[in-house]
Chain A
Amino acid sequence: MQPKTKGIAVAVTGTTAGLVGLLVMTLPADADQEPELPELSATELVESALTAKAPAFEGTVEVTNDLGLPSLPALPGLGLANAESARIYHDGDDGARLSVQRGSTEFTAVTGPDGTWTYDSESNTATKYPGVDPTETVPRHGGLSDPARAATEIIDVLSDSSTVTIDGTARVADRDAYELVLTPKPSERTLLREVTVAIDAATKLPLRFEVMPNGSPEPVVSAGFTEFDVTAQPDELFAFTPPRDADVTTADPDKARKALPKHADPSQALDDVGEALGGSLSVTGSGWDTVLTGAVPEEAFAEAAERLNELGGPDGPPETTALDVLNQFGERFSEGGVSGTEFTTHAGTGVVTDDGRFAVGAVPRQVLIEALEQQ
């Protein structure tokens, strides 16, 4: 072969091979495949999911959201909007380990023979939770002595507001899964289209949870495994010895134990949150068009305004007031004797009225206003 032809042949082959290699890496493994699985009814699937016992596995979980929240650089605590990934290890028994990646730091929680520990590499603190039975931390579907009946009950409760179906199958984290779909009944006034839960065909563990909004094929919230391997895990993963130099604290066992069942009860948890906010919260409606209403803690916005003023510095824009903060990120509205500021995201709406009340829900604005008027 002529050197020139040979050279060109090598260049073309090599470049093509390299580019194809790079391209293959960008492709999702086999997202569009729909595996063939035996037919199951929704009740049967829920029943087997309730009785499922986690095998020993390791997996990577990713949480993404596309809520379309306004970016609020001045307000803290909104870093949640960023994608996070975590690794989970489970020994098939009571041992579990969770590592959450947060940039160049990590938060680890370990439950095993040494008890329950958490470790935060940012502050180098290890916390021990003594006396907490690790099995208590995971709600064990208490009182589900008869999973078949429990499954029927759950489906019954859900079917008041939703249609529960199995909508085909999917490949999640390279595994075959059933897609359990909750669709709101036509009477529900919600911004959401459906909620899907992908349940692993072999282990019956939920692999992915997605919330789909109206009018968009992309989920607003998606949490699920990107990797899931059922294999035996080494024992040392579930043991924990705090590192030298770490601040070791022990959580108050009573407090820890009390906190668990208390927050398992939604209405109690609601009261607690309300208490923390300095006002009471109440729930209007049920199912998909549930609306949460309450009084706005005045300090919250005063603080935010102060913070914005600080950021602006002496040469910054003129003094920001609490109302300006709201108007900066929301839209003014006035409807049916209620006026205030409206915030819209892809999955829900929130309003703050001029008389200091608020309402949020996965619903359009009118439903929020009706809820406020009922108060």
Chain B
Amino acid sequence: MTTMIAPSELRLTRARVGLPRLLWAELRWIFRRPRTRVMLGLLAVIPVIIGIVLTFADGGPTGDADPPVFVTLASSALALPIGALTVLMSLLLPLAITNSSGDALAGEQANGTLRGWLLAPVSRGRLLLVKAFGVAVVGLVAAGLVGTTGVLTGLVSNGTDGLITLSGTTLPLLDALGRVAIAVGWVTVQLWALGAVALAISACTEHPMLVLATVLGGVIVSQLLLVFDSLAWLHPFLLPSSWESMINLVRDPIWWDGLGEGLVRAACYMVIGLSLAYARIVTSDG
């Protein structure tokens, strides 16, 4: 193995490994992990559980003839997926994305498999791109699964009518599906922001647990800080401060203000996270 590789040969090898193949390999690598599948499966089940609980709450054990309104509204194909995304956003979806980011760099560092990447004729920037792509896909799949099972549960329990907004208007099914798609997309972008920060930490350590603890700790502390009015000056800097505006998708017409702000905030976090991750990967000596 001590034979020198001619520079021309190296360039040849580099050209042969196309980016799509690298990305595809990374995805296979991620989705072959049992923990990824179990985690995504559990996330997909949660809207179903919420839907069942809400459906059986009316006329349930108490025999209440007039169930509270939020019950009939909340199990519709519009409110259930958006509500489920909002609930899961506070902890479980960040857990999924952080877990994946932790595995991406720190986990591979711990297994020693990252060394292969660093030695391979793949530039460091491309390595980060591939890893970030894997994490991004996990975020999209997680949010998409929650949205999909939410819509399906809502359709089964409530049918296609009763897609009532908070403003008292009834939406056609396509319109409601569009809003759920927007919600899924919006949540995905928020998850990417968390994923970018998690990748930066992941690049600095070889303990995936540390990534998980730091980012989830950050999410929880941010949500705690949002409770205090006296810290209002700090709130615009905290990522979770726009998570509550998801409910604006159930209003008619949609209130975009908070949602747009949330996207800009997420983009800022992404830029910070990815630039730090890149800096760390470029300077690390493998």
Contact = CB atoms under 8 A, between A and B. Distances in A.
10 contacts: A7-B280, A11-B279, A14-B272, A15-B272, A17-B275, A19-B272, A26-B236, A26-B237, A124-B69, A245-B162
B237 A240 contact: no
A126 interface: yes
Given A19-B268, A19-B272, A122-B69, 9 more contacts: A3-B124, A3-B282, A7-B280, A15-B275, A18-B275, A25-B268, A26-B233, A87-B255, A241-B169
B164 interface: yes
A244 B76 CA distance: 12
B72 interface: yes
A11 B275 contact: yes
A244 B162 contact: yes
Contact of B251 (A11, A99, A117): A99
A178 interface: no
Interface of B: 69, 72-73, 124, 161-162, 164, 166-170, 233, 236-237, 247, 251, 253, 255, 257, 261, 264-265, 267-272, 274-276, 278-283
A126 B274 contact: no
A37 interface: no
Contact of A237 (B253, B267, B274, B275): B253
Contacts of B167: 99, 106, 108, 119, 121
Contacts of B251: 99, 101, 106
Contact of B278 (A10, A19, A244): A10
Nearest to B278: A10
A241 B170 CA distance: 8
Interface of A: 3-4, 6-8, 10-11, 13-15, 17-19, 21-22, 25-26, 60, 87, 99, 101, 104-106, 108, 117, 119, 121-124, 126, 227, 237, 240-246
Classify the interface of chain B: helix, strand, loop or mixed. helix
A227 B257 contact: yes
B160 to A, nearest CB: 12
B267 to A, nearest CB: 7
Contacts of A22: 236-237, 265, 268
A244 B159 CA distance: 12
A13 B271 CA distance: 9
Nearest to B281: A7
A10 B279 contact: yes
Given A4-B283, A124-B69, A10 B162 contact: no
Contacts of B255: 60, 87, 101
B261 A25 contact: yes
Given A3-B283, A13-B275, A21-B268, A126 B168 contact: yes
B278 A7 contact: yes
Contact of B267 (A7, A21, A26, A241): A21
Given A25-B264, A243-B164, A245-B72, A60 B257 contact: yes
A173 to B, nearest CB: 12
A21 B271 contact: yes
Nearest to A226: B257
The residue in B73, B271, B278 that gathers the most chain A C-beta atoms within 10 A of its C-beta is B271
B168 A17 contact: no
B264 A121 contact: no
A104 B165 CA distance: 12
A15 B69 contact: no
Contacts of A21: 264, 267-268, 271
Contact of A7 (B162, B269, B270, B279): B279
Nearest to A118: B168
Contact of B166 (A25, A121, A240): A121
Contacts of B164: 243-246
Given A26-B236, A123-B69, A237-B253, A105 B166 contact: yes
Contacts of A4: 282-283
